[in-house]
Amino acid sequence: MASTAERILDSAQALAQVRGYNGFSYADISAELAITKPSIHHHFPSKAQLAEALIARYRERFAVARQEVDDAATGARERLAGYAGLYAQVFAEGGRMCLCGVFAADAASLPPGVRRAVAAFFDDQRRWVAAAFLEAGLPAARARGAAQAFLAALEGALLLARAGAPTVDDAAVADPGEDVVLSVAATMLDTLL
């Protein structure tokens, strides 16, 4: 059974990933968990602190998932394909966007600490992806460029998948969002490597 703090983080993350930083509130979490707003404030005194905790956990979990990809993969290409799969999984879970991707979109309205945490997350990702391209045999300068483009394409693919996601009006149409992410990733790897 998850602790209250963890259940709050779970709810807040799901909300943030589909509605953005300014699109969710303590009241939303309160309604989802059948807990009052002051109880949430007890665990996370301010929304900024909640968001920072959200990013810290997200970043750690992402690092763990990356490591699992590393352990399972035999070569650099497989590592990168597995990494892209993590993004596809994010979308598959309720049409979510990368937590730091949504936050980056609202950057100018973020508390400073949250913005810094977002920047740190992307630095972390850039480093990992660049190392993978380096392992794949690309020269250092090109590996950095490829990493930037690969990351941008994955974040952008999530954005496009979101934009094209079915509305209530045409819910009958199959959601192609996950395919968008995977096909963009495949295109990137086919051309970059």
Partner DNA sequence: GTCTATACCAGGATAGAC
Partner DNA sequence: GTCTATCCTGGTATAGAC
Residues forming contacts to DNA in the complex (CB under 7 A) are 4, 22, 25-28, 34-39, 41-43, 45-48
Smallest distance from a copy of itself to CB 173, Å:
12
Q: Which residue in the block uniquely carries the two structure tokens 């799901």?
A: 14
**Per CB under 8 A, does 182 bind a copy of itself?**
no
Smallest distance from a copy of itself to CB 162, Å:
5
> Considering just the CA atoms, what is the radius of gyration of the chain in Å?
18
d(CA 87, CA 96): 10
Burial annotation 18-53 (CB, 10 A radius, 16+ → b, else e): beebeebebebbbebbebeeeebeebbeebbebbbb
For 63, list phi and psi in degrees, rounded to 5. Answer: -65, -40
Closer Cβ to a copy of itself, 12 or 153, answer by number: 153
**Per CB under 8 A, does 76 bind a copy of itself?**
no
Among 8, 9, 12, 101, binds a copy of itself (CB under 8 A): 101
The one of DNA, a copy of itself, none whose footprint includes residue 36, by CB under 5 to 8 A per kind, is DNA
The one of DNA, a copy of itself, none whose footprint includes residue 48, by CB under 5 to 8 A per kind, is DNA
Among 29, 50, 69, 118, binds a copy of itself (CB under 8 A): 118
DSSP-derived 3-state class of residue 10: helix
H or E stretch covering 25? none
Question: Between residue 15 and residue 44, which ones bind a copy of itself under the rule CB under 8 A?
Answer: 18-24
DSSP-derived 3-state class of residue 74: coil
The one of a copy of itself, DNA, none whose footprint includes residue 57, by CB under 5 to 8 A per kind, is none
Question: Between residue 46 and residue 65, which ones bind a copy of itself under the rule CB under 8 A?
Answer: none
Stretch that binds a copy of itself, among 40-48, 65-73, 77-85, 111-119 (CB under 8 A): 111-119
Burial annotation 163-186 (CB, 10 A radius, 16+ → b, else e): eeeeeeeeeeeeeebbebbbebbe
